[in-house]
Amino acid sequence: MLRRSIEIAAVIAVIAAALQGCTTTKDDMLPHGDETMMDVWLQSTGGGAGGIGERKLLDARQDLRRAISTSDSVQEENARYTRTAQNEIYSQFKRLPNPDLVMYVYPHLAGTDPAPIPGYSTVFPLYQRVQYAMPGERTEDY
């Protein structure tokens, strides 16, 4: 019985708190002054067209500008950093070493009618296909 009355008191307290929240108005919760959004914008940017804020912005942009140079030395220097299909492939995917193996074939008899074959050397790559390293994978000798 005591437990039931505590539950009822808790429900009544929650309902009272909810109703109290509904009695406030927007202006009480969020008071505002006489300034409009345009006034706030102009104040933060330093005024209207041609104002101090716009002058500061133009000065900051002027500090960041560089002169355009068409000299060959600049173009050659930038060519090292220019991305092309060839240097992208070679710089990102390095070819892994594929050593040549030399094999000596001893003299032997071959065929259904055994014919003598003299000894000879042959060269073949270790891997059947060219292998490429993933970007960032080590390619130098261990």
Residue 57 and residue 85 in one domain = no
Residue 83 domain-assigned (yes or no): yes
Per-residue pLDDT band for 109 (boundaries 50, 70, 90) equals: very high
Per-residue pLDDT band for 89 (boundaries 50, 70, 90) equals: low
The number of C-alpha atoms within 13 Å of 44 and in the hemisphere containing its C-beta is 7
User: Which structural domain, as residue segments, surrounds residue 56?
Assistant: 32-64
Residue 78 and residue 119 in one domain = yes
Residue 104 and residue 78 in one domain = yes
Question: Average pLDDT, stretch 43-48?
Answer: 69
Residue 27 domain-assigned (yes or no): no
* pTM (two decimals): 0.30
For 21-34, the pLDDT digits (tens) are 677 777 777 777 88
Residue 109 domain-assigned (yes or no): yes
Residue 45 pLDDT exceeds 80? no
Number of domains in the chain: 2
What residue has token string 């409009």? 36
